[in-house]
Structure 1
Amino acid sequence: MSAAEDRTPPRRFNAARYCLAENARLRPDKIALVMVGEGDAVTRLTYAEADRAIRAIAGGLSRLGLESGARVMIRMGNEADYVLVYFGALAAGLVALPSSSQLTPSEAAFLMEDSAASVVVVGRDTVLDRAGDRIVLEAGDIAAMKAGDPVADYADTAADDPATLVYTSGTSGSPKGVLHAHRAIWGRRPMHAHWLGLTEDDVMLHAGAMNWTYTLGVGITDPWACGATAVIYNGPRERGIWAALIAAHGATLFAAVPSVYRQILKYADLARHDLSSLRHGVTAGEALPPDLLEAWTATTKKPLYEALGMSEISTYVSSGPTIPVRAGSPGRPQPGRRIAILAVEGDPEALPQGETGLLAIHRSEPGLMLGYWNRPDEEAAVLRGEWFTGGDLASLDDDGYLWFHGRNDDLMNAMGYRVSPNEVEAVLAGHPAIADVGVTELAVRADVRVIAAFVVRQPGVEPDAGALIAWCAERLAAYKCPREIRFLDALPRTANGKVQRKRLAETQS
């Protein structure tokens, strides 16, 4: 089979069947999922059990009379049912909408309305307001579905049929939906060998929350696609917990953002934990600082492989077992990926090596999104001829390694999530004591950047920084909230009156 043929998914393709059906047949008693809770609470599901539960949930959803492609919003914490409902929706030919339990009720309501979700599945400790006439399924409803009759087979979907709707920050300020097809899971295949080094013998421990595409993808989907075991943690986030979990569950692979690796080095007593099972770590979501890479490899003697990706395509540039690490670079394009560096303006022609421009990936990539949900203007803005451009500025060196040079827009990276400054500014602008506000990222250490708000007070008032942060916490998910508030007499603006966000960090507090 040629590389080109291997990159093309089958015409009829269901992502849930791809991850479950063959595993349930070939390795029914193998542990597919381990959910680790507080204390001794551990839930284990074999592939046979996961397959049956997912087909049973698919049956329960199908009996609700939903149209093919109807959106099922998942509003749950890190729990096993999150995974089962997600794949159950795909198995039924519906569109899964994973969402964060950190979202405020108003943020969740926006997703429900914007997506026109037909069903909302809520977790045990989740607050849901303004469900309207939508079907709301709670823990008892999902338990009843799992106990019911499973569908005989997974839905006969096409590779291009919609499967997942993920919301991410848009330049307009409100979150935008990224719609993926079933083929997106097929498009992940280059990661398995060239970034993760993943095989059926592996145990993958992921440090992220279930709603994040990094966790659902690398933590669950990729192990299941390869017949491996996935381990997710849902207990107290003690800073030294990850080394203990690696040792306790014999994790061969560990996935996290860079800051988690730094926490392990700083807070975990590594001498007390046997990390011999760990083959290597992988990291994405934020740039990996060279000093952290050096400290991790020197201390643990384990490789650490970085990847660059986004919600619209997941990871497509990486280091890994087949791509040697080069400190400061996320790596090279994974084999089979077609990428280019395009001029920021003008025709979409590829620039020579060494020149900085817009990082682009070819639209033939099977892992690329179908498009933005009901956002044709934003979709048109990222498509240039045969290329998709996500707004990253980068260059390629003579060896094909990619070097990141920031963003061509104002989107921020907060804990691995893209956040629009417009969204945070709109919340702060509603505070009665604020006359003007600008939001941007602020470097507080060499490898740590936080969201900061630069505020101009209304005359005669003295708002407290803590009160403004609390105001945001009531209206925004925790990862979107500013960590610092700085007060200014005026914001730097262009001649046309636009806030110069890139200059905000240069101002004095």
Structure 2
Amino acid sequence: MERSVEFPPPVGPDWVDEILLAGHPSDVCLRLPDTVDRATLRRLVTGAQDRLAAAGLRRGGAAALRLPPSLTYVVNLLAVWRLGAQAVLLDHRLTDFEVDRAVERLHPQVMVSVRKAGGGALRVFVDVEETVTPLGDRPAGTDHAVVQLSSGSTGPSKVIGRTAADLVAEIHRYTRIDGVPRRGERIILLPSMVHVLGLVGGLMYGLHAGVELVPPQRLSGDAIVAAIAAQDTPATVLGVPFHIGLLASTTPPGPLPQFVRMTTGGELVPRATAEAVVDRFGITLGNMYGMTEVGVIGTDLYGRHRPAIDPAPGLAVREVDGELWVSCPASPYIGLTDPTRWSDGWLHTRDAGVVDPQTGLVTIKGRLDSQVSVGGLKVDLTEVEATVAALPGVAAAVVVYDHGITAYVQPAGPLTEAAVEDALAERLAGYKRPKALHLLDQLPRTTTGKLVREPSVLRGAAS
């Protein structure tokens, strides 16, 4: 069963003012914890436009933003778009080598980076003074409004571009999803706004819908709870499974009736962790599935269909030979890329899944390459990983095929390899069990909090 495909709506040159900055001047849009209203945000964006233009940014050009999550990042991003330029988003945690490669490939006219920062490493939003560096006068190579690098959880990053019309269409999809925060409510924003969940699902949707964006002071369970408790209005925590782990180990100081929901993107949350958070806080735990290439693809914000999701309004999702395809009018990739990733209006997700022909619900089975053959028998690494992750004493796990089934385990406390092997012997057939097992104090994660699945990186961490 496929849903109807809606192509991106026409977008005029003033889309930033109409979609993101509209509203009453006194409306609060950010709490950092000091409030930023729309009049203040407009004033700051106008000032940033002047600085960017003075440094050489022109309509049709590109600006690279290498900034941590901050008011400075938000202001410069909106200023770039308001000038009619392309924003190249570079995670501030990238190395100079990675940034130099991106600049050589994408030719931004200016680079906005950190001159001075304060606030500490665990701050979700930091205080930043920026510097704007002219780089050249070459126009952007494409008409995309934003260029992002994929998280690279399964290999090298891809360069992905999205047009203003595509971004606006995704914002409109969010407005039609049952269970998203509405005007007068708050989003406790945890994901990085350099990546798609925090960028569109947090920042852009929040600005458009009149939802207050509230990053906690620090990246800790206690700080998240404090941000929820700071106001009486309904609050939704937006994050990834890593953030659920923070809350699962936090005891609330008392009732939090304003905490209505937590919504996560990324990999599936282990059942035990999900149940721990729901029991502790009495909330609804929702799930989202999406990709940098197209944004939100499906949701289950009420936890009714777990692990299945409902396709986002306006998107079609189909199953082709066990792979999920998503409607996408044009290729989102910039430069050389695998031609099998997009064709004829469909993005090939490389995720295995099933679409229910009656309800249209989508169940994601894991990466398509998670199916391996062991002695002529098929093994689903997703099943093995879920089994390992659900064991007592396991905080997180990654299972890959690297000259045999190999498991990397992050303990939640005292744990031995023998204990893991004994527990798996009761739960998995012999041919499914890992042939190699590594306990790591901390599993490698991408900048978005996803577990890294690249075997070479995992081997390096284990060594």
**Amino acid corresponding to residue 298 of structure 2 in structure 1:** V
Q: Does 1:214 align with 2:217?
A: no
Sort the Cα spacing of 1:72 and 1:396 in 2 relative to 1 into closer, same or farther, 3 A: same
Residue 326 of structure 1 is matched in structure 2 by 305
Q: CA deviation at 1:450?
A: 4.5
Q: Give structure 2 stretches of 5+ with no counterpart.
A: 118-127, 133-141, 371-383, 404-440
Contact 2:4/2:316 (<8 A) preserved:
no
For residues 281 and 154 of structure 2, the distance between their equivalents in structure 1, rounded to whole angstroms, comes to 43
**Matched residue SS, 2:55:** coil
Residue 102 of structure 1 is matched in structure 2 by 93
Moved more, 94-103 or 241-250: 241-250
Q: Give structure 1 stretches of 5+ with no counterpart.
A: 36-41, 127-137, 143-159, 344-356, 411-440, 456-468, 488-509
Sort the Cα spacing of 1:8 and 1:214 in 2 relative to 1 into closer, same or farther, 3 A: closer
Instruction: Specify which of 326, 332, 335 is matched with residue 361 of structure 1.
Output: 326
Alignment of 1:416-435 (within 5 A): none
Contact 2:317/2:325 (<8 A) preserved:
yes
* Per-residue deviation, residues 44-96 of structure 1 (Å, max 9, x unmatched): 21111112221332233233343433221111122110111111111111111
Q: Does 1:371 align with 2:362?
A: no
Q: Does 1:244 align with 2:226?
A: yes
Instruction: Specify which of 436, 440, 445 is matched with residue 389 of structure 2.
Output: 445
Q: Does 1:341 align with 2:314?
A: no
**Matched residue SS, 2:267:** coil
> Quick one: percent identity of the two aligned structures?
18
Q: Does 1:179 align with 2:161?
A: yes
Q: CA deviation at 1:215?
A: 1.3
**Amino acid corresponding to residue 367 of structure 2 in structure 1:** R
Instruction: Specify which of 299, 317, 328 is matched with residue 280 of structure 2.
Output: 299
For residues 298 and 88 of structure 1, the distance between their equivalents in structure 2, rounded to whole angstroms, comes to 43
Sort the Cα spacing of 1:450 and 1:253 in 2 relative to 1 into closer, same or farther, 3 A: same
Instruction: Specify which of 396, 401, 415 is matched with residue 361 of structure 2.
Output: 401
For residues 477 and 294 of structure 1, the distance between their equivalents in structure 2, rounded to whole angstroms, comes to 23
**Matched residue SS, 1:121:** strand
For residues 210 and 85 of structure 2, the distance between their equivalents in structure 1, rounded to whole angstroms, comes to 24
Alignment of 1:50-449 (within 5 A): 50-125=41-116, 139=129, 141=131, 161-168=143-150, 174-188=156-170, 189-194=172-177, 196-233=179-216, 235-250=217-232, 252-266=235-249, 268-270=250-252, 272-320=253-301, 325-329=304-308, 331-343=309-321, 357-364=322-329, 371-375=332-336, 377-378=337-338, 380-397=339-356, 398-409=358-369, 445-446=389-390, 448-449=396-397
Cα RMSD of the aligned pairs, angstroms, is 3.8
Contact 1:279/1:303 (<8 A) preserved:
yes
* Per-residue deviation, residues 386-406 of structure 1 (Å, max 9, x unmatched): 321121111022432211122
Residue 27 of structure 2 is matched in structure 1 by 30
* Per-residue deviation, residues 470-492 of structure 1 (Å, max 9, x unmatched): 9x99xx999766486457xxxxx
Contact 1:288/1:328 (<8 A) preserved:
no
TM-score by length of 1: 0.66
Q: CA deviation at 1:204?
A: 0.9
For residues 477 and 301 of structure 1, the distance between their equivalents in structure 2, rounded to whole angstroms, comes to 26
Sort the Cα spacing of 1:14 and 1:168 in 2 relative to 1 into closer, same or farther, 3 A: farther
TM-score by length of 2: 0.72
Q: CA deviation at 1:383?
A: 1.8
**Amino acid corresponding to residue 353 of structure 2 in structure 1:** A
Contact 2:323/2:350 (<8 A) preserved:
yes
**Amino acid corresponding to residue 319 of structure 2 in structure 1:** I
Contact 2:317/2:327 (<8 A) preserved:
yes
Contact 2:149/2:158 (<8 A) preserved:
yes
Q: CA deviation at 1:306?
A: 0.5
Q: CA deviation at 1:219?
A: 2.1
**Matched residue SS, 1:326:** coil
Number of matched pairs: 383
For residues 310 and 304 of structure 1, the distance between their equivalents in structure 2, rounded to whole angstroms, comes to 20
**Amino acid corresponding to residue 12 of structure 1 in structure 2:** G
